[in-house]
Chains A and B, each alone.
Chain A
Amino acid sequence: MSEATLERGINALKEQIDAPVAAFFSSCVSCGMCAEACLFYTETGDPKYTPIYKLEPLRRVWESEYTLVGKIKKVLGLNKPVTDELLQEWQELLYDSCTLCARCSMICPVGNDIVYMVRKAREGMVASGNSPEGVQGAATRAVTIGSPMGVKLSALEAQIRHIEADSGLKIPMDVEGADYLALLSSMEIMNFPEYLEGLAKIFKQAGVSWTLCSTAFEATNSGIQIGSSDIARTLVQRIVDGAERLKVKNVISPECGHAYTAIRWEGPNLIGRRLPFRVIHILELLDELRAAGRIKTKDLETDCYTFHDPCSIARKGGIIEEPRRLMNMVTTNFVDMKEHGKMAWCCGGGGGVSSNEDADSLRIKAFKRKRDQIAETGADVLVTACANCRLVIEEGLEEYRIELPVVGLSELIADHLVVDEEPPETPE
Chain B
Amino acid sequence: MNEPMDFLIWTRGTAFDIAVTIFVIGVILRLFEILALGRKQNLAEPKGSEFGPGMKTILTRSIPDLGTFRRQPLTVVAGYMFHIGLLVSLIMFVPHIELFRATFGFSWPGLPTPIVDAAAVLAIVGLLAALWHRIMNPVMRKITTWEDWLVWTLTFLPILTGYLAYHRMVNPYPVILGLHILSVEALMIAFPFTKLMHTFTVFLSRWYNGAMSGRRGVES
* Residues of chain A at the chain B interface (Cβ within 8 Å): 17-24, 26-33, 35-37, 41-42, 45, 47-48, 50, 52-53, 66-69, 105-113, 116, 264-269, 272-275, 278-279, 315-320, 338-339, 342-343
Contact = CB atoms under 8 A, between A and B. Distances in A.
Contacts of B64: 33, 107, 109
B139 A32 contact: yes
Contact of A20 (B39, B58, B138, B195): B39
Nearest to B62: A109
B195 A28 contact: yes
B33 to A, nearest CB: 6
16 contacts: A18-B39, A19-B204, A20-B39, A32-B143, A47-B143, A105-B213, A107-B68, A108-B209, A110-B205, A111-B58, A111-B205, A111-B209, A267-B44, A273-B43, A319-B217, A320-B218
Contacts of B79: 31, 109
Interface in B35-78: 35-40, 42-45, 47-48, 57-58, 61-62, 64-65, 67-68, 71-72, 75-76
B118 interface: no
Please list the 5 inter-chain residue pairs (A to B) with the smallest Cβ-Cβ separation, ordered nearest first: A318-B217, A111-B206, A268-B43, A47-B142, A32-B139
Interface in B168-220: 193, 195, 197-198, 201-202, 204-210, 212-213, 216-220
A54 to B, nearest CB: 11
A29 B198 contact: yes
Contact of A278 (B37, B45, B65): B45
Q: Using C-beta atoms within 8 Å of the partner chain, give the interface range for chain B.
A: 35 or more
A270 to B, nearest CB: 9
A30 B208 contact: no
B30 interface: yes
B209 A112 contact: yes
A187 B198 CA distance: 44
B40 A269 contact: yes
Nearest to B193: A69
A109 B61 contact: yes
Nearest to A319: B217
B208 A50 contact: no
Nearest to A317: B216
B71 to A, nearest CB: 4
B117 interface: no
B139 A19 contact: no
Contacts of B33: 22, 66-68
Contacts of A319: 217
Contact of A113 (B137, B140, B208): B208
B98 interface: no
Contact of B219 (A48, A109, A342): A342
Contacts of B30: 26, 67-68
A264 B47 CA distance: 10
The B interface, classified by DSSP as helix, strand, loop or mixed, is helix
A273 B39 CA distance: 16
A52 B205 CA distance: 14
Contacts of B141: 47
B102 interface: no
Nearest to A105: B209
A369 to B, nearest CB: 11
B44 A318 contact: no
A106 B61 CA distance: 9
A52 B204 contact: no
A265 B137 contact: no
Given A111-B209, A318-B47, A27 B198 contact: yes
Residue of A18, A23, A116 with highest tally of chain B CB at under 10 A: A23
B201 A26 contact: yes
Given A36-B72, A50-B143, A269-B44, A106 B220 contact: yes
Contacts of A315: 218
A111 B72 CA distance: 17
A241 B198 CA distance: 45
Interface in B128-145: 134, 137-145
Given A29-B195, A339-B67, 19 more contacts: A20-B212, A23-B204, A27-B201, A27-B205, A30-B144, A32-B139, A35-B139, A47-B142, A50-B143, A52-B143, A105-B209, A107-B65, A108-B209, A109-B62, A109-B64, A112-B205, A116-B212, A273-B43, A318-B47
A267 to B, nearest CB: 7
